[in-house]
Structure 1
Amino acid sequence: MPRLFTAIEIPEEVGDTLALLRGGISGARWIDPEFYHVTLRFMGDVDDALARDIAQMLGQVRRRAFDMVLDGLDQFGGHKPRAVIASVKANPALLELQAEQERIMQRLGLAPERAYRPHVTLARLRDASTRQVADYLAMRGLYRSMPFHVPRFVLYSSRDSVGGGPYVVEAAYPLS
């Protein structure tokens, strides 16, 4: 049973700048740069028939390619930080692409996802000190990537693991 999600790949040159931000938080599990991505829609564990339907329906998406920028670092988890992320600058084209995929997945019977907040996960945290995370963000939080072009989105599969890969591109869908 594959575990599926759609995402936008992060170009190597942007990933290299994100990789320079690694370190400085005790116990953080830093994501390997080759696994950086912006998730569009997580489908989870699905059977093979549904996986085929998902891949086929995604092939009907017709959107234009667009540019994107990562703008600032943040964390998920509030008073108990669980991840350090790079935020995506507001981008209507990205939100429209994600919303279309959300509608497709609901038509296929998947439950709605929670509110969408586009980001790249840089590290997963376990028992990280709130102070350490705050200090890290104070030092590196103003990160901003160069603009990069998004010519496609991909359907990834992953193993049930602690996160951060490995991911396999099952299908790629060009944006016109």
Structure 2
Amino acid sequence: MRLFVALDLSPSQREALALLRGTLPGVQWVPSENYHLALRFIGEITDRYVMGEIDLALSRLSWTPFEISFSGAGLREGTTADSLTIGIERSTALETLQAQVEKTLRKAGCPPAKRRFQPSVTLGHLATSQRADAARWVQRHNLFRSEPMSVEHVTLFESLRGYDQHVYVAQAEYAWHPEMPLLPEDE
């Protein structure tokens, strides 16, 4: 299983971000159902014991609910492809939650993260030769701001390879307080 931990976005946030996609030629737009704010990429996990340790560790996360807002557009440059992104306003609460996820996963046996945490949502991918077009897209959308979204759970996703896109499947959700059930208990 190829896993990552992320904040799943609300339907209204997904819709607001989907409206930014536009008609830039040559961009492979990410389907709105795949929008998320990645907190930590875990990688390929084949050992059931390690998977159990990850689940147990994430179930012990505890934080106070907070809000995030999207703010501004960006271009994440890569060696073979670039990504169009929408940024997240930085907050101490978000940084603290991400650091807690990182620490928790390390204790569960995961190696340290390879990349520094840069909160954003990827909307599309394009060739590095299209950077001038991408810069114009960033200029057009740089003043974008969203309504705040409440963060009350984190999600463990599995990344499946689809025909032409990855498909992200939620495997588990973890509430802001370990004692709080996410689903109402059967009576």
TM-score (norm 2): 0.86
SS in structure 2 of the partner of residue 120 of structure 1: strand
**Residue 157 of structure 1 aligns with which residue?**
158
Quote how far apart the aligned CAs of 1:108 are.
2.7
CA RMSD of aligned residues (A): 2.0
Cα offset, 1:104, TM superposition: 1.6
Shift of 1:74: 0.2
1:24-64 CA-to-partner distances (Å, cap 9, x unmatched) read 32211111111110001110101222111101110011111
Q: Which residue of 2 aligns with 1:35?
A: 34
1:106 corresponds to:
106
Preserved contact between residue 27 and residue 127 of structure 1 (Cα < 8 Å): no
Amino acid across the alignment from 1:22: R
- Output the CA distance in 2 between the equivalents of 1:132 and 1:9: 29
Instruction: Deviation per CA, 1:116-155: give whole Å up to 9, x if none.
Output: 1011111112245111011111111211111111111111
Measured in 1, the distance between the counterparts of 2:159 and 2:78 equals 27
Output the amino acid matched with 1:52. G
Contact kept, 8 Å, 1:15 with 1:34, in 2: the verdict is yes
Q: Does 146-155 or 158-167 show the bigger shift?
A: 158-167
* Gap runs ≥5 in structure 1: none
C-alpha change, 1:149 and 1:137, in structure 2 (3 Å) is: same
Render the CA deviation track for 1:82-109: whole Å, top value 9, x for unaligned: 1011101011111111101111222233
> 1:92/1:163 Cα in 2 relative to 1: closer, same or farther (>3 Å)?
farther
Equivalent residues of 2:7, 2:37 under 8 A apart: yes
Residue of structure 2 equivalent to 1:64: 64
Per the normalisation by structure 1, the TM-score is 0.91
Measured in 2, the distance between the counterparts of 1:103 and 1:162 equals 34
Q: Secondary structure at the match of 2:124?
A: strand
Are 1:5 and 2:4 an aligned pair?
yes
Cα distance in 1 between the residues matched to 2:87 and 2:164: 18
Contact 2:78 2:128 in 1 (8 A): no
The 8 Å contact of residues 81 and 130 in structure 1, kept in 2 or not, is answered as no
Alpha-carbon separation, structure 2, partners of 1:49 and 1:98: 23
Matches within 5 A, 1:43-82: 43-47=42-46, 48-77=48-77, 82=82
Following the alignment from structure 1 to structure 2, what is the Cα–Cα distance between the partners of residues 58 and 82?
31
Structure-1 separation of matches of 2:56 and 2:130: 44
8 A contact 1:27–1:128 mirrored in 2: no
> What's the counterpart of residue 15 of structure 1?
14
Give 1:85's aligned residue.
Answer: 85
- Unpaired runs of 5+ residues, structure 2, are 178-187
Q: How many residues align?
A: 175
SS of alignment partner, residue 52 of structure 1: helix
- Cα distance, 1:23 vs structure 2: 2.4
CA 1:163–1:68 in 2, change beyond 3 Å: closer, same or farther? farther
What amino acid is aligned across from residue 135 of structure 1 in structure 2?
R
